[in-house]
Amino acid sequence: MILLVIKDMKPRSSEEKVKPFRLVKYFTFTSLVIIFIGTIALSLLNTRWARDLQLRKSEDYARLLVENLNHQIFLKFVIPVALKFGKIQLRNKDQFEHMDKVVRTTLHSFKLDMVNIYDKNNIISYSFDPSLIGQKDLGGTGFQNALAGKSTSQLVQRGNFWEMLLGFPKESMLITFAPLRAEKPLSRISGPVLGVVELVQNLSEDDKSIFSFQVHIITTCALIMSALFLVLLLVVKRGEGVFQKRALERLRLKEQLSRAEHLSTLGEMVAGISHEIRNPLGIIQSSAELLKKKMSSLDHSNPIPDIIVEEAGRLNYIITDFLNFAKPKIPNFLPCNVTDVVEKNIIYLDSQLREQDYRIEKHYGNNLPEIMADSDMLYQAFLNILINAMQAMPAGGKIRVEITSDENRNNVTICFQDEGEGIAEDIMEKIWDPFFTTKGKGTGLGLGIVKNIIESHYGSISIDNRPDGGAHVAIKIPIDPGV
């Protein structure tokens, strides 16, 4: 039942912590993508506005050119030619050359690809391209509007499918049709329409400049957004790690609390049962010893009294372990020398060590400080560890005991190493569980009692396997638990 509660709590704890953070993460990433898309859209709009502005300026520019050309043609060509020849005939070589000189002089240094002048019958009378002179009906609606006195402009673009789709054609021309009027001297009132002027401006270079400007904007936005994305990704990863760590820590604390509650209930039950068993057990043991004395005078070879006394003693040892685990003692903190406690353990085990060929290798640090501890409880904890090390090497072997203190002299570390087979990886996490044992006999409470003793001294204990075989037990105890 306890295991089911713990397993059910784990995903719930993860959801409590991870889901809100995932919501923040997704919202942040979505916002970044929207900002990037908005920036690209804004750059496209800016480019569109720039092109519209450039087109309007080109149209105004064309109208000014037409107005200036109209003035120059009327003053420098129409009037002088009319006075000299009586009428205007551009088929006349001299008149055409004079007209060409006036037009080219007026439009010199201006970016124009083509200039055509139509008469009122939609026939090209003058052109930069001599092959167009004399052709008829090429003006279209632009000519008709100009003949009616209205200037118009038309944007003509050429390019492949992708160039046209992206709005940056290979060639872009602005064609402007404007009326060619007779001018009245000293008056702002224009005279009748004499013909139509067609100007063709090449805007391809301007479009390329705008396209290059847009590419720079998009590239800059992409680089900035990429940098922001990387920074955000780093922050999110770190935040996710922190949240996950907190979620795992919370789960661990919940498991410890559930375990503590379970052990507390189990301890109370064990303590009550142990007390109930210990009283009749004492009566059984004393009665068996009395029976043994009476039987010795009648039948020396009868083993039954000895068996009863031995088994009663073993049962009393088991009950003592139950009580020590279920209701651990409160340490009586007094100045204590850890080295003396370990030496006392070794002296107690000396005969067994020599009989079974065990060797103790000791390494004690210099000037080890005294600690505030309960020496009797530490004696019991160290004795259990040494006995476990001996049981791990049935044929004998070396046990290394090392005692050191840290540089700040805040803690004392006691290490025990044996040369046994070590602890299997699949049971490493179970060794602290009560009643878990791999031995043929025993209660499985030894390490649990040791852990309770060390933790009651505000210390820590860890067990792992040595690279060259055997187990390594490390105990760290603060010099002064009150600090």
* pLDDT at residue 186, rounded to an integer: 46
Structural domain total, the chain: 2
Residues 125, 195 contacting (CB under 8 angstroms): yes
* pLDDT at residue 161, rounded to an integer: 77
Please indicate, yes or no, if residue 373 is contained in any of the structural domains. Answer: yes
Same domain for 187 and 335: no
* pLDDT at residue 266, rounded to an integer: 65
CATH number of the domain that residue 147 is part of: 3.30.450.20
Please indicate, yes or no, if residue 271 is contained in any of the structural domains. Answer: no
Q: Which range of residues forms the domain containing residue 361?
A: 330-478
Residues 258, 5 contacting (CB under 8 angstroms): yes
Same domain for 343 and 212: no
Residues 117, 139 contacting (CB under 8 angstroms): no
Encode 227-259: b = buried (16+ Cβ within 10 Å), e = exposed.
eeeeebeeebeeeeeebeeebeeebeebbeeee
Reduced 3-state DSSP string for 356-424: CCEEEEEEECCCCCCEEECHHHHHHHHHHHHHHHHHCCCCCEEEEEEEEECCCCCEEEEEEECCCCCCC
Please indicate, yes or no, if residue 303 is contained in any of the structural domains. Answer: no
Please indicate, yes or no, if residue 304 is contained in any of the structural domains. Answer: no
Place of tokens 């040791």: 450
Out of 201, 216, 231, pick the residue that ends a domain: 216
Same domain for 337 and 194: no
CA 249 to chain centre: 20
Quick one: DSSP state of residue 75? I
Quick one: DSSP state of residue 123? B
Please indicate, yes or no, if residue 206 is contained in any of the structural domains. Answer: yes
Please indicate, yes or no, if residue 64 is contained in any of the structural domains. Answer: yes
Question: Of 164, 163, 157, 166, nearest to 218 (Cα)?
Answer: 166
Cβ neighbors of 68 (< 8 A, separation 6 or more) are: 106
Same domain for 336 and 209: no
Same domain for 469 and 339: yes
Please indicate, yes or no, if residue 222 is contained in any of the structural domains. Answer: no
Please indicate, yes or no, if residue 283 is contained in any of the structural domains. Answer: no
pTM here is: 0.44
Question: pLDDT tens digits, the chain, 483 residues: what are they?
Answer: 333 333 343 444 444 444 555 666 677 777 777 877 877 777 777 777 877 887 888 888 888 888 888 888 888 888 888 888 777 778 888 888 888 888 888 888 777 888 999 988 888 888 888 888 888 888 888 889 888 888 888 888 887 877 776 667 778 888 889 888 877 654 454 678 778 888 888 877 777 777 777 778 778 877 887 787 788 778 777 877 787 888 888 888 888 787 767 766 766 666 666 666 666 767 777 777 777 777 766 666 667 777 777 777 767 666 666 666 656 678 888 999 999 999 999 999 988 888 888 999 999 988 888 999 999 889 988 998 998 889 888 888 899 999 998 877 789 999 999 988 888 777 777 776 666 566 656 556 677 778 888 888 889 998 888 888 888 999 999 998 765
* pLDDT at residue 413, rounded to an integer: 93
Cβ neighbors of 203 (< 8 A, separation 6 or more) are: 54, 55, 58, 155, 172, 173, 174
Out of 196, 216, 236, pick the residue that ends a domain: 216
Out of 169, 191, 216, pick the residue that ends a domain: 216
Same domain for 44 and 174: yes
CATH number of the domain that residue 416 is part of: 3.30.565.10
Reduced 3-state DSSP string for 249-264: HHHHHHHHHHHHHHHH
